[in-house]
Structure 1
Amino acid sequence: MSATILIVEDETRLADILEQYLRLGGFHTERAATGPRALELWRAARPALILLDLMLPEMDGLEVARRVRAESEVPIIMLTARDEEVDRLVGLGIGADDYVIKPYSPREVVARVRAVLRRAQNAAPVSSTLHAGQLTLDTAAFEARCGEEILDVTVAELRLLTALAQAAGAVKSRSELLSALGGLDRGTDERTVDAHVKNLRRKMGVCGEGLETVRGVGYRLRS
């Protein structure tokens, strides 16, 4: 059975094009033009992935993503016409797996869909429990703790922390961390890693002090 992709886009012409290319690529599609309708279809169809426009009537894409993330880790690719860093950071902070800036090539969007689905299907924790200082990661339970406090991390943030914790004390380059995030697709750049690190430091409290920047190279998690 082909995977179902939920297209959430209020511009009919763009939604038509995305639907055409996704169907040619072998996917089943569902479509929503508003935030509330997107949530209804997500619950009814349980898609394998959501293509989610940022600017929607009635409820914007960020709020849709927040509500989905409160209940599910379904992959989300954000579609946005705005390239400001604030949108990128907020989008990543709610757990978006990737983002595409308009105008985009529909073929590129289909390629991103395939890549994100492949990462989701192949994702498997290397080790169930990892420790770095006061930080504890239980990748099997999708849980990160600073001491006894459970941290509110996204899937992407847990992947990044896992890559750093597996090499605790060693420097990981941005390109290595981007690879750990699965961000090797054309159009995804290393600023994605910086955005995740910024969000993690905000969420990690005292444990964030152990997440160090190594200027010109990347990041290190103190052991």
Structure 2
Amino acid sequence: MSQVIYILEDEREMARIMRRALEGLGFKTQDFRLCSDFEKALEKNRPDLCLIDLSLPDGDGLSVVSDSLKQRGIPAIIVTGRGDATDKIVGLELGADDYIVKPFEPREMVARVRAVLRRGQAKSGVMQQAPSPKIAQFDGWSADFSSCTLTDPEGETENLSSAEAALLETFLSSSGRVLSRSKLLDIGSPDDLDPYDRSIDARISRLRRKLGDDPKSPKMIRTVYGSGYVFVAKVQWGDE
């Protein structure tokens, strides 16, 4: 069955270019000009991935990513003319899986779409095949990778994006080992493309914030200057 891509883009010509590039390779697409129409469609059907513009007539694409897609666990790629580094970092911090700046080469867009979908499929496949434990406990926290949720010591639960879950699972599986930036970038960035280098800093900053880990003096995810990052809390794995 063809994978479905939703496109939230108010420029008709840009939406047409994106739609043609994706449909030419077998994807099904549906495009929207308004956030309100996009939100109504999400209530009825779940797409495999969404391409989101930031500047929209009736809302902000960043809010769509953080409030709608992230909560549903739907992968999102921001596609926008805003090329400022701050915009990129904010988009990634709010849960986007990737960020493309206009103008772009349609083949690059398709490659990034495929890469994000592959990561999601690979994670899903491992979850279905492996009987290995998928719940980790550490310092009073609990991470359930079968549902991509994180529960704090007080019992409050919030969702993790696919990129956040993949990064946290890698840290927990490698507790006590220093992980290089290049290895961590391979986990959260599209294959065979030059990753936005500071994106890993943004993702780690987001994880630290969700874990209540003071960035000035982190107790769980520590920076090893010149080498990478290390998760230092003791981790216990289980099925429940």
1:195 positional shift = 0.4
Which whole-Å CA distance do the structure 2 matches of 1:184 and 1:218 have between them?
20
Structure 2 counterparts to residues 151-190 of structure 1, below 5 A: 152=158, 153-190=160-197
Q: Give SS of 1:46's match.
A: coil
Percent identity over paired residues: 36
Contact 2:69 2:76 (8 Å CA) reproduced: no
1:89 positional shift = 2.5
Gaps of 5+ in 1: none
Which whole-Å CA distance do the structure 1 matches of 2:152 and 2:204 have between them?
16
Which whole-Å CA distance do the structure 1 matches of 2:179 and 2:196 have between them?
16
1:209 positional shift = 2.2
Contact 1:132 1:168 (8 Å CA) reproduced: no
One-letter code aligned to 2:195 = T
Which whole-Å CA distance do the structure 1 matches of 2:52 and 2:187 have between them?
23
Contact 2:79 2:99 (8 Å CA) reproduced: yes
One-letter code aligned to 1:4 = V
1:31 positional shift = 0.8
Q: Give SS of 1:219's match.
A: strand
One-letter code aligned to 1:6 = Y
Match of 1:40 in 2: 40
Contact 2:5 2:47 (8 Å CA) reproduced: yes
Contact 1:127 1:139 (8 Å CA) reproduced: no
Q: Does 1:76 align with 2:86?
A: no
Structure 2 counterparts to residues 19-168 of structure 1, below 5 A: 19-69=19-69, 71-123=71-123, 124-125=126-127, 127-150=133-156, 152=158, 153-168=160-175
1:182 positional shift = 4.6
Which whole-Å CA distance do the structure 2 matches of 1:131 and 1:112 have between them?
33
Which whole-Å CA distance do the structure 2 matches of 1:64 and 1:11 have between them?
17
Gaps of 5+ in 2: 234-240
1:70 positional shift = 5.9
Which whole-Å CA distance do the structure 1 matches of 2:197 and 2:213 have between them?
25
Which whole-Å CA distance do the structure 2 matches of 1:10 and 1:179 have between them?
32
Which whole-Å CA distance do the structure 2 matches of 1:206 and 1:71 have between them?
22
* Range that drifts further, 44-53 or 198-207: 198-207
* Structure 1 residues 151 and 13: alpha-carbon distance in aligned structure 2, compared to 1, 3 A threshold: same
* Structure 1 residues 183 and 175: alpha-carbon distance in aligned structure 2, compared to 1, 3 A threshold: farther
Taking structure 1 as the reference length, the TM-score comes to 0.89
* Structure 1 residues 217 and 149: alpha-carbon distance in aligned structure 2, compared to 1, 3 A threshold: farther
* Structure 1 residues 3 and 70: alpha-carbon distance in aligned structure 2, compared to 1, 3 A threshold: closer
One-letter code aligned to 1:144 = L
Contact 1:112 1:185 (8 Å CA) reproduced: no
Q: Give SS of 1:78's match.
A: strand
Q: Give SS of 1:31's match.
A: strand
